[in-house]
Amino acid sequence: MRYSNLHYSKRTNAPKYQQQNKLLSILWLLLAIIVLIFVISFSNLNATQLMSGFIASFFRTSIAYLIALILAIIIALLITANEIIENIFLPFFDALQSFPSFALFPILVQALKNSPEFVIILILTITIIWPILFSIIGGMKNRRKDLEEAATVFGAHGIKRLFNFTLPILLPVIITGSIVGWGEGWEFIIGAELLAQANVGIGTYLGILGKNQQGLLLAFGILILMFLLFIINKFFWLPLLYRATQYESEA
Amino acid sequence: MEKSNIIKVSEVAKSFPLEGENQLVLDDVNFEVQKEEFLCLVGPSGCGKSTLLRIMANLIPVDTGRIEFTKKPTVAMVFQNFALFPWLTVDQNVAFGLKMQGLPQEEIKKRVSENIEAMGLKGLEKKHPKELSGGMKQRVGIARALAIKPEILFLDEPFSSLDVFTASRLRQDLLSIWQERKMTIVMISHLVEEAIELSDRVIVLTPAPGTVKLIEEIKLERPRNKRSEEFFNYVDKMSELIKIEK
């Protein structure tokens, strides 16, 4: 007997199956950690350098993400507040997002010689902001009118409206934009750390391996980086997205 | 404005842009709403009922004319598709307006509890809207509106998304609440029978551009006997009027 899509959905959403999924995720995590330890132990990778590099890169990406998030929310809300402003600035930002942020590197490195950290974070912020910004703009344009009216009728104005209505209703799109932006940040950070000649970072570490032609170690290092990013995605972003979309507005 | 009136609608007109032109939706609408009355607006689809209600609730501005209140009232609204905030639980939805008013936590808790009980929602406080049936959702919508103790309650076809039995039950609940709490109600309905069953007065609007065609006082005793000859006479009169205008 073949189950219909509806029956399948009801089956996998049942508490019993959700618990099984959680158990499976924990098992996968444990397996990933065991593989990680195995690879590090037998591959002559400098675990301390690798992990400290990852932590440094993680902090840079996180700071850049937070700045990009705050800026994206402010800009999106300002743009969509007025149709005339939107018609002027939206095409401008649309064009600006195509500008390759790496092209700014030589200027920024020259201008901020003693601040490679600042250069990296600035470049990352410029990279991460676009998916979040356009995701929020899309969310603002598609938000339910009756919910807007209900918020207005029941007295949600100013800052109270922002925190009790606007941000909650935008949460699903903020998270989807953040997932994309975060991913793009990690794509860029390796190159950014190499170009800015950061003292510590995953990009710096992998760069050294590459320079010393330690190809196998480089491959292992990249594999471990992928594993770590997978864990962040699986245990942070996806559960957050699931929670947010659980309570998305019904059309 | 007479002392017993709470709202005065004078020469209200409204148009919306449509395909490059301004489409007149309401034209020269004039009427008054009496304090503590139950008033229904009926009319064919597209006659501007929802627009008029939203103008009165200060959600959209008029083009010309004005809406006057005897004093700035507390208003609340119940929506056709419930308009519950999906990220909030039942009790949080009911508390929303109270939170926006900045009331103390204890007062909020007390009023939420009272209105949840009054609307038969006890035990559902921690549920989210997507876990509720249509009837339950509308009960939450009504509880949310009543929690802020409105002087004027606007209802935009509140029962049109519900099945016949749930709608009938909720109508009776709404009547009880209105009689108990002595507030002014302005409701839109597309069902003439519903309007006559509930209202003190019914205003019939013409098709777009909507204007007042008839203001009829319903001189039937409450509870209304929906099988009486007088009831059917009112239904026939207004249905005929709406049919002719089509």
B131-142 pLDDT, tens digit each? 999 999 999 999
Provide the mean pLDDT of chain B: 92
Contact residues, chain A to chain B, C-beta under 8 Å? 144, 146-147, 149-157, 160, 164-165, 168-169, 171, 246-250
Across A66-95, average pLDDT: 89
Contacts of A82 (CB under 8 A, 6+ apart): none
B76 contacts in chain A (CB < 8 Å): 153-154
Higher-confidence residue: A61 or A198? A61
Among the ranges given (A170-174, A183-187, B44-48), the one the predictor scored with the smallest mean pLDDT? B44-48
Answer whether A247 sits within 8 Å of B81, measured CB to CB: no
Among the ranges given (A70-84, A153-167, A185-199), the one the predictor scored with the smallest mean pLDDT? A185-199
pLDDT at residue B120 in the model: 92
Sign of CA dihedral A19, A21, A24, A28: negative
> Could you tell me what percent of chain A has a pLDDT over 70?
86
Distance from CA of A213 to the nearest CA of B (A): 53
Answer whether residue B58 shows pLDDT above 60: yes
CA closest to B129 among chain A residues: A247
Across B29-43, average pLDDT: 94
How would residue A167 be classed by pLDDT, with cut points 50, 70 and 90? Answer: very high
The span from the first CA to the last CA of chain A, in angstroms, equals 33
Taking the C-alpha atoms of residue B152 and residue B57, their distance in angstroms, rounded to an integer, is 9
Q: What is the ipTM of this complex?
A: 0.91
- Shortest CB distance from A154 goes to which of B54, B100, B128? B100
Q: What is the pTM assigned to this prediction?
A: 0.85
Whether B148 and chain A come into contact, CB under 8 Å, resolves to yes
Helix boundaries (H) for chain A:
5-13, 15-42, 47-80, 83-96, 105-111, 116-141, 145-153, 158-161, 167-196, 202-211, 215-232, 238-246
CA closest to A171 among chain B residues: B87
Answer whether residue A11 shows pLDDT above 70: no
Taking the C-alpha atoms of residue A158 and residue A153, their distance in angstroms, rounded to an integer, is 14
Across B77-106, average pLDDT: 96
Sheet holding B21-34, edge to edge: B21-34, B5-18, B64-69
Written as six digits, the tokens of A29 are 């995590």
Answer whether B86 sits within 8 Å of A248, measured CB to CB: yes
Q: Report pLDDT digits (tens) over B193-231.
A: 999 999 999 999 988 788 999 999 999 998 899 999 999
Taking the C-alpha atoms of residue B189 and residue B220, their distance in angstroms, rounded to an integer, is 19
Answer whether residue A9 shows pLDDT above 70: no
- Running DSSP on this structure, what letter comes out for residue A235? I
Answer whether B76 sits within 8 Å of A164, measured CB to CB: no
Residue B125 · residue B140 · CB < 8 Å: no
pLDDT at residue A3 in the model: 46
